[in-house]
Structure 1
Amino acid sequence: MVTVQCYCGAVRMELTGEPLAQFYCHCEDCQAVHGAAYLPAVMYRIPATRLVAGEPAYWKLKTTVRAFCRECGTRLYAEPPGLGIRSITALLLHQGLFKPTFHIQCQHALLPIKDTLPHFKGFPAMFGGSDEQVSW
């Protein structure tokens, strides 16, 4: 079990089991919501996540509901509709626990990212995509 919390500690969540995926998201929604070129994310099924302190506030920019701390504004997680998953902001994990294995939505990347991970143009097949990659 892993515990994550917002930066002020008002909201805490327990994550159980292994994550479904760990990746960097370059979609326009994540860029706009987080004010960043991409977002490190770790994905769990909702039942494997449990709020143990505090109550986040919820909002959505387009279609994805997102949770944040009412006190400090830390972005906590997103819940893409119909998938039964929570995409936790990986910056909340303890150092060394985030082990990304790919990038997604690279068609929206602001700049090329040069690393050894796969860079999917949209979504990988495991997310219902085509596995098409970009070559930088």
Structure 2
Amino acid sequence: MTTTVGCLCGAVKLELSGAPVAHFYCHCDDCQRVHGTAYVPAVMYRASQVRLIAGEPVLWALKTTVRATCRECGTRVYAEPPGMGVRSLPASLLPEGMFQPTFHMQCQHALLPARDALPHYKGFPAMFGGADDLMSW
């Protein structure tokens, strides 16, 4: 399965192949600052599953996570957390109905408690090298 996604103006296009590693909500303070929001709905793929097929995004980092942004419209198109070999894309780039979140992570930085039936990990879940510690809210 392949899916083509891109920025709002269409200058940057990515081809996603295969199944994603995870669908989740990220509450880390880096994502909050970069996206100007309380949390980011995200989908994560192995880096080899995300291929740039059009455009040249600007690469930059606020802290340690390298991010790619369309130089024309400013859309954040992906992030590359260091040492993980993955690319995380904002779920807003996906076709409608494709985002199927299964957990929240980095909730230690949450601005407010998130209330839903999904697990709310204090840091990273075990699948990302974390301890699977859950928030008690």
Q: Same fold (TM over 0.5)?
A: yes
**Cα distance in 2 between the residues matched to 1:81 and 1:128:** 13
TM-score, reference length from structure 2? 0.98
3-state DSSP of counterpart to 1:59: strand
**1:124 counterpart = 2:125:** yes
Unaligned runs of 5+ in 1: none
**1:74 counterpart = 2:75:** yes
| Alpha-carbon offset, residue 45 of structure 1 | 0.7
Alignment of 1:52-63 (within 5 A): 52-63=53-64
* Partner deviation per Cα, 1:71-121 (whole Å, 9 max, x = no partner): 000001100111111011111001100000000000110011111100000
Name the Cα RMSD after superposition. 0.6
Alignment of 1:14-33 (within 5 A): 14-33=15-34
**Cα distance in 1 between the residues matched to 2:12 and 2:69:** 9
**1:35 counterpart = 2:36:** yes
**Cα distance in 2 between the residues matched to 1:100 and 1:135:** 20
Structure 2 match to 1:94? 95
Structure 1 ranges of 4+ moved more than 4 A: none
TM-score, reference length from structure 1? 0.98
- The residue type equivalent to 1:38 in the other structure is Y
Structure 1 match to 2:7? 6
**1:134 counterpart = 2:107:** no
- The residue type equivalent to 1:31 in the other structure is Q
3-state DSSP of counterpart to 2:32: helix
3-state DSSP of counterpart to 1:2: strand
* Partner deviation per Cα, 1:41-86 (whole Å, 9 max, x = no partner): 1000111111111111110001010000000000011001111110
**Cα distance in 1 between the residues matched to 2:136 and 2:101:** 18
**Cα distance in 1 between the residues matched to 2:83 and 2:119:** 26
- The residue type equivalent to 2:79 in the other structure is A
**Cα distance in 2 between the residues matched to 1:47 and 1:105:** 25
